[in-house]
Structure 1
Amino acid sequence: MRHRWVGHVAIAAAVWLSLVPLGAMLDGQRILTAAVPLIVASAAVGSLLSLLRLPRGAIFVAQGVAVVGVLLWRGLTLAGPGTPVEALRSLTLEGVSAIRTGAAPLQITDGVAWLCLLLTAVLLLMVQLLADSLEQPGWSIAPLGLVFGIAALILLGDVPWLYALPVIAAYIIVLLVATPMGRDAAGGASRLLAFQASRALTACVAGLTAAALALGVSAVVPLGNQQAWQEPGSSGPIQLADPTLQLDQDLRRPIDARVLTYTSDTGRPTYLRTVALTQLTSDGAQLVPMTLSRFGLGSASPYPGEDVSVTVEMAVPSDYLPVPFAPRSISAAGTWAFDPETLSIVASGPERAQQSVGLTYTATARQPDPTRDEIAQASAGSGVPAVTTEIPDGLDDGVQQLLDSILATADDTDGAAALAIQDFLRSNRFEYSLSAPASTGLGTISNFLLTDRSGYCVHFAMGMAVLARMAGIPSRIAVGFAPGDETSPGTFEVTAHDAHAWPELYLEGLGWVPFEPTPAFSGPAGTSGTTGPQEEPSAEPTPEETQPEATPEPGQPTAEPTAPGVATGDESSGRGNGAGVFAALAVLALLVAPGVARVVQRRRRLARSQPAATAADGAWDEVRATYLDHGLDWPSGSPVPAAAVAAGRLAPEGAAALRSLAALVERSRFARDGESPPPAELVSTVLGAVAHAVPMRRRLLARFLPASMLTGRRG
């Protein structure tokens, strides 16, 4: 593509048009608005540097720096607390979770918006590289058609044909700006109008032929089910994102919101469990792939307990059904399956999480209800997956010493060890706090157990699960909701702030038993060490830890929470201001870098300490570079002939100084007695005359964007 500034604007506009098919997959088109800063950054940098006639490679690198800078700024604005790397990682995982567990049209959460912006940046650089840097505009159809192709793959129905029009227009725009027009295209053709008409006719015939072939082939070839992988009823491995990310966001949500309401046949509150995390790694608790089943839920857990039945009304989308543990049956509209290992109820129909919105369902369960004595006499169970006993690497050596001290006074049984660990975590040595780091990595858990001893439910659950495994007891982390508040007799409301995590330990004859090590909760009966009726739990932090509630503007909807495992959009944190400053400094550094390098180069060339011949050549190179910086052509040839041509652009005094300097340089190069450096005053006069020969705009460009640093043109 020729060095025209309009080309970079056209490429950016084409990429923006190619994003229109996102509207078929997302709820709303605000992603197109969110992508505008990236589009503008690419177009502005490309156009400006193209006007300065920089080489294609330099323009592409500068555009890459600008696009990445704007992308990081937007990402850190959307991200939550933590270091920039950890915040962007969490934002990415949240977006992946929303895409994996959601159904089109997806709600545009912060994570989804970040992934869309990341896709926009990749498409911008790919199209720029193909159409401009490599001069292969024909291949740009691959990135330009990517979004439409993704929509065609994941949507159950056909993508509306109108979504194809922006992609076609985008490709045509790239081809037009990358292809010569007018006399440039016709070359020596004598009949320009006929030549252009033949080109247009050939393009129309080729397009119509391709469309006819596509329609004809699709009509006669038996393609079968276009999306068999989304067929309801399919079973097999399923991988979902870590729901602890959503739990952290819901607990920190400044404005609470209702998730569900329920009633139970016992009239008592109950924990509602969604999923269990069985894999503990150095990065924290994680899900493992599930193998779903539709039959056998009633016999999946043969262990004793108290029977309970709940009727639940959901208010938000959820990839899991919150139910008491261990569920034995469910009655719910839609397509649902369960994981035999964790007894999680998972949406497996085509609508996925959306089928739970407004859903009323009934679930029966046999809740483990052992007494403390029964637990204290139990031994660790066996026959469970090995992943529930694996101890991750990365724990501080002091954790083992801590465990030894905890068990020193406990009875010599696994159940007694479990109760001792729980009682230690519930003691006044620890405090509940939402100001703790969101991470559940082993470094954070080691600090939590040994030094900080301040955290919220995920830290207490992770800490007990790790200590239990070190004591030889299989463990996992359950995620779900605390019982909530009783709004009327026998009716309970669960909100986003009731999101909770607790450990489950596997004991012989008792099965998976829930424990409650978090001090702010009373916990399931028989395990928390409390006596008498179970108290209504309260997960609210202390007043000094509670974040101030934000008052929404009149008429402005509040953010809806989601159940664990389903991503949502949080309010932007104060990180945006810092990120904006970072992005501004990065752009400023990019702008001033060429000018600074040019000053260093000028001082090196004109240094008086160098040999006379080197000083003469350096002075002449500096004059040539100054001409190029100010947008003036530099003639070829030896110094004296070149000066005779170049002097025509200067005032008389400057022209005379340039001719004198050229004579000194040639004498230095060719005469035997030419070993004399040019006077500094003479060089300064020439450089000043060049600067005064152009308008102020060219002087500013020469100072901050010197063309000689990047063009590589030699005199």
Structure 2
Amino acid sequence: MTGHARISLAAWGATILGALVLTPVFSGPFLFISAFLCGAVTGIGILLQNLRAPRIVVPFVQLLVLVELISLFFLRETLKFGLIPVKGTALEFNQQMVNAMDSINRFSAPLPPDSHLTLFAASVIAATGLLIHVIAVQLHQAAWSGLLLLIMYTVPAATVHGGLPALLFVPPALGYIVLLSAEGRSRLSRWGRRISGVSHLDAAEPVEASALGQAGRRIGLTVVALAALLPALLPTLPEGVIGNGLAGSGPGTGIGASISSTDPMLDMGKNLNRGDNVVALTYKGGPSGGTYLRLTALDFFDGDTWRIAPRQAGRKISGDLTPPPGYNGDLSKVPQSKLEIDVSRSFRSQFAPVPYPVRSISLKRDWRYDAGALDVVSSNGQVVAGKNYDLTSYDLQPTPQQLHDATGSGEPDQYTSRVPRTPDSIKELARTLTKDANGNQFEAAVLLQNWFRSGGGFTYSTANQRGSGMRALREFLLVNKTGYCEQFATGMALMARIVGIPSRVGIGFLPGQAGKDGEYTVRMHDMHAWPELYFQGIGWIRFEPTPAARVALTPDWTVAAAPETSPTTAPSTAPTAPGASEDPGIEKPNADPDLPSDSGVTIVDGGNWFTNGGGRTIAIVAGVIVLLCIPWLIRSLTRRRRFAKPPGRLGAEGLWAEVRDTSRDLGLDWSEIATPRQAGDWLVTKLPAEAHPQALRLARGIEALRYAGDVDLALDLRAEAAAVRQALWSQAPRRRRWRARLLPPSWRWYLNRGSTEASDLLDEFDLLLARLRSLALRRRHAN
């Protein structure tokens, strides 16, 4: 087997072994597809090299083959004649990548085996395999490919909850060892057959010098260095560099907010406390006074977190959705409302904002709904940002008497009646507050709502960051009594379960602010949480325990049954839920500094080009330009430093190095083994006649400084070096001059030099270990 074939196969094996670390993140057949794609790339590379194809051609052909295979596997519908990728293929690939990134930001590992996630994983692994092949085979720098394997390991290690199993580090390490061994064997085979077990220290000493042994020691040193450096560097990185799984949830991003499917409650709190008050959506139609728009319902509470309970696969949207769960009346007699909702690109959510209960919706393809919660969710990871859709919803308006007469709690599911381990003090408080209901569940619910809004002495403030776990709820209910909608909603939902009422927590938006032509504008700070309680024969009913400082009025079906008695809260019989006659928007008194306020908040238009990706595009382009300018900048600074050195041996050697690097930058074949006299004679052949004397004086001066004993150490060769450099520059074609400015080849030479010096350092480490081992063996034999 030829050397390049051996290294190619080793590079393929290292890529696949390195990709094993992604198995805790992705699911499905991504690894088998990636192995095939990388194998095809490797096979094409071996074939082209056996055919003596130019080295620069090989990676381009490999890339074309990779694009064709990925298109055939995943994007076949977009191919022209079923074979040729076209513009539509690129656009569909980009959309699939966007969907995959959004799913990665929202779902926790392991990710679902969706086609766009499989495409993402296979593309990333195959592209990594192509880069490893180029680095190891084309550039003969196999050691640098270890950085790609390290990145492939550290990304899931830093993002998977609980970290990766320690044994998953073994496959990438083995792959790297095999790759280094293959390259070492290929290099050594050029000099003849390798003699194992012999070192250049002493052939009689049993010093291990095999490629595997040296690679193992080098990897061990690298791992130790990384283990020492990474912990010192990672704490300095800002939140989100490695990732917390929530895109766009950092403070003050100015680009909107996200709601994930893993922890919607946490995302809502971040948007209220740290997010900008940008427009989330606008809508027209619906009841007079606006309507609550719900994203989803959290029905599972384990004592620590409120989240979505395990569900069956979502149902396809085709015609009318299922009737509202628990409602046994005649839906044909229930009033209906039509809405047109336009979601801003600033609001990235896999849940579509809809009123409850929704009857029909125009979102069809790639959207599903849950029959129990009646929430509409994406099935392939895409977000609702930028969507415009129509819907029809039922205006359920139960009367207080109907709710009062509802008999039996019923069990809508196995989750919404479950009470986790709860402190006795909370249980006793719930029973004490509802004892006047005399066992009527609706009256008990109204008593709980009124206690939270007025009778319990609560204060609304977004400063409470403790969440909604049992410990936080106990402190909220019994100690500080300060919180925002999250604590009020989850507190009432828990106490409702204690007294026997099934409950869950809705996450969504308040009705927003009314505008012209019946259009309502909903902003990010209108996000809200509320409890939904279940009554047999009527279904899920919304309550509003959040105080009037945040939400002015309660649902009209709760007012007549038990009016609020606090003198600070103006009771009203006017409805505020669907069908209300006045705007049930957010009242934010100036006296409460903790409330989200529009004053001082920059309102960013959802359609602004800069905030919707333009700024990021500019930053990326600027970053690419800066990266491209790095070689030119380093080269310019190096040249200036060399000419600034005073006369002497060091200064002259720097000038000689500058002439050497200029020659290489301009595409001239400078010999590294030539003497100064030979190099000077060679320069004369490349320069015009007027520059010959300067070139000869420069070469003779360097020769004298290196080898003559009585040379003048103050010899100044700066004028000669500048003249030679200028003559070389003027003789070069314009294309080579531009390449020398933008991407000087001497930059690559220094990179190779750095790799060689690093390898030499590791060789010294090998020798040190060999000496220590030899010394230990001698002492053992002596004893």
Which TM-score tier does this pair reach, normalised by the shorter chain? Answer: 0.3 to 0.5
Name which structure has the greater RCO, CA cutoff 8 Å, separation 6+.
1
Compute the TM-score of the two structures, normalised by the length of structure 1: 0.48
Compute the TM-score of the two structures, normalised by the length of structure 2: 0.44
